[in-house]
Amino acid sequence: MLNKPECKVEFDESGKAFGVTSEGETAKCKKVVCDPSYLPDKVKKVGRVARAICIMKHPIPDTKDSHSVQIILPKKQLKRKSDMYVFCCSYAHNVAPKGKFVAFVSTEAETDKPEIELKPGIDLLGPVEETFFDMYDRFEPVNAAEEDNCFLTTSYDATTHFETTVKDVLALYSKITGKELDLSVDLNAASAGEND
If asked whether residues 60 and 126 sit together in one domain, one would say yes
185 in a domain, yes or no?
A: no
Q: What is the pLDDT of residue 3?
A: 84
pLDDT per position as a tens digit, 119-165 = 999 999 999 999 999 999 999 999 999 999 999 999 999 999 889 99
Residues 88, 183: Cα–Cα separation, whole Å: 28
pLDDT per position as a tens digit, 44-77 = 999 999 999 999 999 999 999 999 999 999 999 9
If asked whether residues 114 and 148 sit together in one domain, one would say no
Find the CATH number of the domain harbouring 156: 3.50.50.60
Q: Is 121 helix (H, G, I), strand (E, B) or coil?
A: helix
Distances (CA, A) of 11 to 31, 38, 61: 11, 13, 53
Q: What is the pLDDT of residue 191?
A: 65
If asked whether residues 81 and 107 sit together in one domain, one would say yes
- What is the span of the domain harbouring residue 67? 46-138
If asked whether residues 149 and 105 sit together in one domain, one would say no
